[in-house]
Amino acid sequence: MPTATIAGHEVQINDEGFLTEYDEWGEDIATELAANIGVEMTDDHWALIKWLREDFQEKGETATTRRVQDGSGFPTKHQFQLFPKKPAQKLAYLAGLPKPHGCV
C-alpha cells in the first residue's frame, strides 16, 4: 500500500490519494489536503467532515451526497458551494474516508 507524508504524518493512501486507515486522519491532515485542492476550511466544512466521519463509523461506508443532505441538514446545493464540482468525493477525501460508491 502506498504511503504519503501529509502535515508531517506518514499515512497510508490508495492509488487515488484517499487515506485508507480511519485512525490515521487528523484535522491537521484535513487542513493540508484542503489547501492542496483549493478549499478554504470554514465551520460548515468542519461540521460536514465531523458528520461524515460519525456516519461512516455507524454505517461502515462513506455517505453519498443524498445521504449527507438527508442526515446532516446541508442541502446538496450548499455542499456544492463548499466543495465545488464533486462534493461527496472531496468531502470524503478531506475526511480521510474511502470515496463513496458511485463516484467516478
Q: Which residue has the higher pLDDT, 104 or 102?
A: 102
Backbone angles phi, psi at 87, to 5 degrees: -60, -45
Residue 101 has pLDDT above 80, yes or no: no
Helix H or strand E encompassing 77: helix 76-82
Residue 94 has pLDDT above 60, yes or no: yes
Task: Using alpha carbons, select from 46, 56, 66 the residue that is nearest to residue 21.
Answer: 56
